[in-house]
Structure 1
Amino acid sequence: MPRALPLASTPFPALAQWACLILCAGLAGQLFSALHLPAALFLGPMLVAIAFGVAGATIRLPKILFQLGQGTVGLMIAHAMSLSVLLMALQEWHVMLLGTVLTVMLSALVGVVLVRYAGIPSHTAALGTSPGAASAMVGMAEDYGADPRVVATMQYVRVVLVVMFGALVSHWLGASVGGATGHASTSHAASLDLSNVGLSLAVIGTGVFLGLRLPAGALLVPLLLGTVLQLSGVLEISLPSWLIPFAYGAVGCYVGLRFDRQTVLYVWRHLPMMALASLLLILMCAVSAWLISLAMDKDYLSVYLATSPGGLDSMAIIAIDTHSDVGFVLAMQTLRLFGVIFTGSFLARQVMRWSEKRS
């Protein structure tokens, strides 16, 4: 059993923890940016927050900050949306449906593997390997007899691995990095029009409020509102340059701080198998993305991000930062998000049934 770290045995005051977290997260984001890693301002804070959480930090990022960060990312995506992008996404609906079904089926297969070889209960394995909608799966855990702590750990271990591999794949494929910087500079140039800045911030706040009860609503509702207002000519989306690192950092720190020491210790025995299962799912999704990219004659990175079993907000951040096909990534991730939510209980029953037959 791992020894307690100093932070866990003699916790610092909350104010000192916040100061250290903000400083270290900012430095990590800047370091990763200097190394030209995709989504550096998101990846750096997330890894720092994981270290703080596992070390025993007692602070937790207020959920409203996480939701406002999601809303900002949603409006950034809306900034990249155009009528041509939407039409192209509609034309490729059959490919998106195929990719969604493949990813969901592969996740169910990985769930069966975990039940058979890791001894994890079937409902827990099914919800834990569900590709996306992490918060929804954790919320559904108790209703279906699963352990929410194990489901949460499985979900967020996979999110971390997906983000890290997404950044590495983007780097290996030579994707140009700087989406966030580009948005920030554009926003800074447009910030002279205070009415657009104020309306953009109002869209984020209103969208987050309206989307509180919807799956990923804090991201999707500002995205939809911003897209409609921009396409109708009512709004020219303009965001202050300081808001971009805040949004990325808030999402990254919220995810990272979920890895508290108690949760990690609780699932320590199964953690290697969980990580291996997540890597297996990522690999199978990468192979399916390669086949889809060949069939569609589409760039591999966009298809890889669209089929990756990570969070919608995480993949959207990487897509923006690497100048991938944001519309395609968003459309497929959103389709899978709702597919996972509506089929979660069904898949849990099927995984249990398959596991019992194999036994």
Structure 2
Amino acid sequence: MPDTTPAPAQKPPARPFSFRNGNIGVKWCCLLALSVAFTVPLHAMHLPAAILIGPMFAAVALAVNEAHLPIPGPAFLLAQGIVGCMIACSLQVRIFSKVIGEGPLFLGGVMCVIVLCTLIGFCLARWKVLPGSTALWGASPGAATVMTLMSQAYGADMRLVAFMQYFRAAAVAIATTTMARSTTPVTTADGASAFWAMPASWPAFGETIGVIVIGVCLAHVVRLSAGALMLPLIIATGLQDMGLLSIELPPWFLAAGYAVLGWGIGLRFTRATLHYAARALPYILMAIALMIAGCGAMALVLARFKHVSLLTAYLATSPGGEDTVAIIAATTPGVDMPFVMAMQTVRFVLVLFTGPLLARTLSRWVER
């Protein structure tokens, strides 16, 4: 008599772990926990962009494991407005008076850094290391967050721009800190503690939020590329210069804005993007080394003819972010802080307003 006992059901093959079908609340808890886990050690290393890079790393880790957590569009736009107001804090007219007094050598140093970085970006684009205008945006000197956000509005791959910009920011921060410590002891930790302990003025904070909201809404109405960042920046700078606004960004508010930006960038990554970035990494490292070495050579010339210390000249020409340079310059004895910040600010403004035009023009040459 044949055996009619049903065969035991076979277990389906185990699937690799994935967040694809996970609970949305669990995904957010994992994102928050990973963000803290990445940010704390980076902040302990005194990396100025830690509050953005940490959440971005956490988002990348979840994104490559298929965790779909789209950041609401309005939140991402408001976070850009926060960055715009943060930048406006350092854009003061009295800084530019330093430029008028320094003359052609000062402006020549600024332009040489921009030309060097643009040429390196053009070569990376020409050799197809990164697609389209992505290399040009990634090589823009300084203003990493701004260039990353603006690049998306002008057709570049924001993920790869972020990869190149923040990799360079970390390398430059290490190089400048090492040079500063080899000259004089740097008390970066005191600057970081003062930043986090800084009290907030609530009336000024309310006015700052109003500028952010108005700027973002206006950008949506006029459909301006990168307007969510640019319009709050322009409005806040103008009001601040006229004495009508005191920009106030409490640390927790600034950290929240950076976290949203980091998540918004990181969650766009895929495994294919990471593989592409890994293949391009040797060329990117070479480009970063050339930028640092080229700016170091310009610093030697500036120190020779301008009669400032080599450390002051190097910080002034450094291709890193303005926030990185500001912290190191402010906490290092013997550095000419007004000279450094004037040169960094002028370069930032030039890159901010000429970057889109340069990227569009040079990308056409790349495609020929």
Q: Tell me which of 337, 340, 343 is aligned to 2:352.
A: 337
Higher helix residue share: 1
Deviations 1:259-286 (A, max 9, x none): 2223334x36743345335434543554
The corresponding residue for 1:346 is: 361
Q: How many residues align?
A: 327
Cα separation, 2, equivalents of 1:201 and 1:345: 33
Give unpaired runs (5+ residues) of structure 1.
142-147, 309-314, 354-359
Q: Counterpart in 1 of 2:170?
A: 164
Take 1:16 and 1:196, find their aligned partners in 2: how far apart are those partners? Answer: 36
Output the amino acid matched with 2:348. Answer: Q
Moved more, 60-69 or 336-345: 60-69
Code of the aligned partner of 1:262? A
Q: Is 2:165 the partner of 1:155? A: no
Amino acid at match of 2:207: L
Q: Establish whether residue 23 from structure 1 lines up as the match of residue 36 from structure 2.
A: no
Mapped pair 1:272 → 2:285: no
Please say if residues 200 and 237 of structure 1, whose CA atoms lie closer than 8 Å, have aligned partners that are also in contact.
Answer: yes
Distance 2:297 2:225 in 1: 26
Cα distance in 1 for partners of 2:83, 2:152 equals: 23
Q: 1:209-250: per-residue Cα shift (whole Å, max 9, x none)?
A: 334544544334323322332332323333334212112322
Unaligned 5+ residue runs, structure 2?
1-14, 142-146, 331-336
- Asked if structure 2 preserves the Cα contact closer than 8 Å seen for 1:110 and 1:280, the reply is no
Cα shift at 1:109: 4.2
Alignment of 1:190-209 (within 5 A): 190-191=201-202, 195-209=203-217
Distance across 1 between alignment mates of 2:32 and 2:264: 12
Q: TM-score, normalised by structure 1?
A: 0.73
Take 1:64 and 1:220, find their aligned partners in 2: how far apart are those partners? 16
How far 1:100 sits from its partner (Å)?
3.8
| Contact 2:109 2:298 (C-alpha < 8 Å) held by counterparts | no
Q: Deviations over 1:135-157 (max 9, x none)?
A: 5545544xxxxxx5xx4454222
Deviations 1:297-339 (A, max 9, x none): 372464245x34xxxxxx2443555447555433312212322
* Residues 1:27 and 1:125: Cα distance change in structure 2 (over 3 Å): closer
Q: Does the CA-based 8 Å contact 1:103-1:285 persist in structure 2?
A: no
Assess if the C-alpha contact under 8 Å between 1:289 and 1:304 holds in 2: yes
CA distance in 1, matches of 2:46, 2:237: 29
User: Which residue among 66, 87, 93 is the counterpart of 1:56?
Assistant: 66
What is the aligned-residue identity percentage?
23
Report if aligned partners of 1:76, 1:183 keep a CA contact under 8 Å in 2: no
After superposition, what is the alpha-carbon deviation per residue over 1:164-209, rounded to whole angstroms, capped at 9, x for unaligned? 2233235322452565654554442x23xxx322112111222233
Instruction: Report if aligned partners of 1:75, 1:226 keep a CA contact under 8 Å in 2.
Output: yes
Distance 1:248 1:105, change over 3 A: same
Q: Distance in 2 between matches of 1:124 and 1:235?
A: 37
In the alignment, the residues of structure 2 paired with residue 245 and residue 121 of structure 1 have an alpha-carbon distance, to the nearest angstrom, of: 30
1:303 is matched with which residue?
316
Name the Cα RMSD after superposition.
3.7
SS at match of 2:64: helix
Structure with larger Rg: 2
